[in-house]
Amino acid sequence: MFCSLSGKPTTNPVISPKSKRIFDRDTLLGYLKSNNNTDPITEESLTEEELIIVDTDPIPLVKHTTATSIPSLLSSLQNEWDALALEVFQLRKQLVTAKEELSVALYHHDAAVRVAAKAIRERDEARKGLQELAGNISNGDAVMPDAEKLEESAPEEETFESRIVSAQKELLQKHKSEKVKSKFDLNADIEIKEPEIIWTNEIKDSDIIDFERNETINRTLITLSNYVVLLVQNDDGKQIHQFDQINEPIVTTGWIKNVAYVVSESRILFENDNSAELKEIQTAKPHPSLPLLIIQTLEELRVYDVDKQKFVYTIPISFKQLDIHVDGDLLAGTNGHVIEIYNLSKGEKVLTLDLVPQDSNISQLQFGPNGYWLLASYGQHIAVVDLRKGTIANTIEVDGDVPIADFTVDPTSTLISVASASSIILFKYSKKARSWTRTNECSVSSILKAKFTSGSKIFVANDKSILQVSLAQ
């Protein structure tokens, strides 16, 4: 009998029940030991106990006569050498292939590491830049990068960039010197008094849809559903001016240097009868100190100089919601759940914030008056983002299934008034706990908008009235 492994005669044959082949017992046991007890032919599991012993005649084996022949021995050696050479060739070929595959894998790995390192480096640089900007804003100790160079190299007529940088420095210094303190003890409850009606809409077939109050001159812009905007004196409710030839949906209203403006889908109208035209307007925000109106169209951001009565700057970005920082050089915008922050003077993106749930749609953005918070409302939540860290510091949640209609932050950034469909909810900030807590609530029907006009008063609008809500302790 011949062993199926060695091909040599055997005096101690066994049969594998798996492959039904004959093997030399010692040779097979050695193979099983080095190959995790698997059958050499079928590679099925095989143990020593399963082997079937074959009884043989004890007569000693006689060597084949050809094995003693020199030509036969040489032929056998030649065959063995050829088989060995073929096996070595195949092994070398497999080794070359393995080296090539390993080289490609290492190349891909190195490329992935470089890409990841570059992305991490860019993220860290952007975060560091934003932290520096937020640090400037919050403490006023540092100067905007290259601001002095911009001023020195500016031509006789200031560039847009130098105007923004100069205004930012002035606003930063102003906010640093005017440290606003809360009128309330934040460790005690704050009472919300009953709303007081200060103006009622008596125009037929129209509802209030928006308002903007100017506390400095004590006037309010009131937008109606029939494309009419009224300018009202708050003391007696007397109408001062009426924008009534708009004939298209009104996008927003506001004030620049105490001059009222109205923005529709294709026009910008001013109280002093100046006007400008621009297609597909989505929203607009005034600069905090300069006579500039930042206007968002479907495809780009345009800056209109009210004094020069012309557009002076363009950034190729598009947002559905945006806000301007209190110091005038940061702009935040969003089209869904991701917030992008731009440097207005340079038109460059400084940070991307992907912090709120991906299925969310941010409905309102507002920089906090303190300069280092950015608030974003989505659904029944308001995320308070710390710009110094680029993370969410707190999340405010309102009960119920109805989305937040509007929210407003007081000048000290310690109170947030949230307008739901039927109530005003007040939240206060605890520096010790570093969190917001709900402190009180007041029922107001059909709320559209709410706005802090001072540290102790909130103006509220529903479809028929403008109301004033006072806070007290």
Calculate mean pLDDT across residues 414-425.
91
Segment 283-309 shows an average pLDDT of: 96
Asked whether the predicted pLDDT for residue 473 surpasses 90, the reply is no
pLDDT beyond 60 at 128:
yes
pLDDT at site 7: 80
Average the pLDDT over 169-195 and give the result.
Answer: 89
pLDDT at 22: 93
* pLDDT of residue 315 exceeding 70: yes
Into how many domains does the chain fold? 2
pLDDT at 152: 53
Residue 64 confidence (pLDDT): 53
The answer to the question of residue 453 being in a domain is yes
Domain range enclosing 49: 13-62
**Residue 210 domain-assigned?**
yes
Rounded CA-CA distance 161/358 in Å is: 35
**Within 10 A of 314 (CB to CB), how many other CB atoms are there?**
12
pLDDT surpasses 50 at 144: no
Residues 6+ apart with CB under 8 A from 64: none
Distant-in-sequence, close-in-space partners of 469: CB < 8 Å, separation ≥ 6:
192, 193, 195, 196, 424, 442, 444, 457, 458, 459, 460
Least confident of 15-29, 69-83, 261-275, 355-369: 69-83
On whether residue 172 sits in a domain, the answer given is no
Is 411 a member of any domain? yes
Domain contains 138: no
pLDDT-based confidence at 108, cuts 50/70/90? confident
* 181, pLDDT greater than 80: yes
Q: Each residue of 427-448: pLDDT tens digit?
A: 999 988 899 999 999 988 888 8
pLDDT of 140 higher than 80: no
Summarised one tens digit per residue, pLDDT across range 376-386 is: 999 999 999 99
Q: What is the pLDDT of residue 399?
A: 87
Band (pLDDT 50/70/90 cuts) for residue 110 is confident
Q: Is the pLDDT confidence value at 423 over 60? A: yes
* pLDDT level of residue 392 (50, 70, 90 thresholds): very high
Judged by average pLDDT, the poorest of 105-109, 267-271, 279-283 is: 105-109
Last residue of a domain, one of 46, 62, 78: 62
What confidence score (pLDDT) does residue 141 get? 52
9-13, 193-197, 233-237, 259-263, range with greatest mean pLDDT = 259-263
- Give the mean model confidence (pLDDT) for residues 56-67: 58
pLDDT(310) > 50: yes
Mean pLDDT of 170-199: 90
User: Nearest-CA neighbor of 409 among 371, 470, 363, 367?
Assistant: 367
CATH code at position 23: 3.30.40.10
Helices (H), 57-182: 70-139, 147-153, 160-177
In a domain, 122, yes or no: no
**CB of 327 closer than 8 Å to CB of 352:** no
221 domain residue, yes or no: yes
φ, ψ at 65 (rounded to 5°): -65, -30
We report the CATH number of the domain holding residue 269 as: 2.130.10.10
pTM of the model: 0.65
| pLDDT (average), residues 356-363 | 94
Does the pLDDT at position 261 exceed 80?
yes
Average pLDDT across the chain, whole number? 88
Query: Which is it for the CA torsion 133, 135, 136, 142, positive or negative?
Result: negative
- pLDDT tier at 304 (50, 70, 90 boundaries)? very high
**210 band by pLDDT with thresholds 50, 70 and 90:** very high
Residue 329 lies in a domain: yes
The DSSP code for 383 is E
